[in-house]
Amino acid sequence: MKDTETKLAFINARAEGKSYATIGKELKLSKATCSSWEASLKDQIEELRKEKLEELYTAYGMTREARINKLGSLLDNIDGAIASKDFSELPLDKLLELRLKYGRELQTEYREPVRSSDDTLNGILEDYNKLFEESKSGELTASEIRARVDVLDKKRDLLYRIASEKTQEEESGSFSLNLDYTSKLLRHEDEAI
């Protein structure tokens, strides 16, 4: 029987969406062992997949928090310059203009990231549609749109890799797959093209 370290590496690799073939080469496991471990460790694999998605959200939030802190610091500096009435370097109208500009920028940054409650393909498609509607209405900045599209693309890619692997396994007769789920994924990829 393989050691615990190998099983943990298997769980991590499957959570990243790696195929049995890739895992087999990296960990020197047979396809049968991979299939067996997949069945017995599916809860841990799914939990790790969710954790990896949560890491994406956290990274997005940390980046946003850093921008908010930076803008707050700039606003403090501008407020200090205004309060000191030291206008020798900048005219008052320029200081006030900067204050208003950075204040507006800080307000746009102070939005909570939208989290999907549904990490299925349909949930991700709904999130793309919501994002599209919000962007059309002008509610989001370009950087917010790019960041949210990046998160959604990574979630979609992960689902697509999982479905592709399951399709390959089904074709080899080692795994049963929900064909409706795969066809939805493929239709979504066709629409994106």
Element (H, E) at 192: helix 179-192
Count of beta carbons in the 10 Å neighbourhood of residue 37: 22
Cβ atoms of residues 22 and 13 within 8 Å: yes
Q: Which residues contact 80 (CB under 8 A, 6 or more apart)?
A: none
Residue 193 has pLDDT above 60, yes or no: no
Q: Amino acid letter at 7?
A: K
Domain segments of the chain as ranges: 1-40, 52-113, 116-193
- Which candidate, 47, 50, 57, places its Cα nearest to that of 115? 57
- Which candidate, 119, 109, 8, 111, places its Cα nearest to that of 54? 119
Q: Which residues contact 67 (CB under 8 A, 6 or more apart)?
A: 109
Cβ atoms of residues 165 and 19 within 8 Å: yes
Confidence of residue 118 (pLDDT cuts 50, 70, 90): low
Q: Is 117 helix (H, G, I), strand (E, B) or coil?
A: coil
Q: Is 131 helix (H, G, I), strand (E, B) or coil?
A: helix
- In the chain, the N- to C-terminal Cα span, in Å, equals 46
Confidence of residue 186 (pLDDT cuts 50, 70, 90): low
pLDDT in tens, 121-171: 788 888 888 888 888 887 777 777 888 888 888 888 887 888 777 777 767
